[in-house]
Structure 1
Amino acid sequence: MQPLIKTIPFSIKLADSFFTRLKGLMFKKEQLVEEGLWIIPCNSIHMCFMHFEIDAVFLSNKGEIVKVVERLKPWRFVKPIKDAYSVIELPAGSISQLGLKQGDILSL
């Protein structure tokens, strides 16, 4: 079975510098709405100083989804994910809403 190629119909900001990767979504007060943050490189995340849940989609360097984490709550951690090169942080519920699954390919 071939992997499905999927797109995310949200505005995705890129965090690829030391500062933008470090800050991520920390201290943001309002929940994400049809937007996300793509952190490159990144194979683990923390939810310290977060005020809302998110969904996290970990990608290989070829854009394949290697892990999905739904409704990650504030003050939780995701340990390093083998083969993950980057992560996209999305509004809670997006993984289910968009039908994203491990093995799918994201076109960004």
Structure 2
Amino acid sequence: MEITRNGTAPIADEGVKRIGDLYRIEADLRGFDPQARLAVRQARSTPLVADMQAWLVHHRARVATKSPLGEALAYIAKYWDGLKLFLTDGRIEIDNTQTLIA
């Protein structure tokens, strides 16, 4: 993430860590059928995403809107509903990287 490359950015670092936690759960789910993936996501990922949403709201209220970090937080907020869609269906991937590669 560019924001973290230009120096110390604890808020950005924390956001990247939170996203990394979700990706580690997804790595554990490789090969699971959709129903099992959904069950694990509901148990493990949903609480993390709820915490991340509270984190996002908290920091958006405190970071300058036009700063690089403020713009990154606004981007996440704008697409929040789509970003958490993977929590509702075990067939949906956490991201669309494979779709973009194909």
**Larger Rg: 1 or 2?**
2
Q: Which has the higher contact order (CA 8 A, sep 6+)?
A: 1
Question: What is the TM-score of this pair, normalised by structure 2?
Answer: 0.28
- Give 1 or 2: higher strand fraction: 1
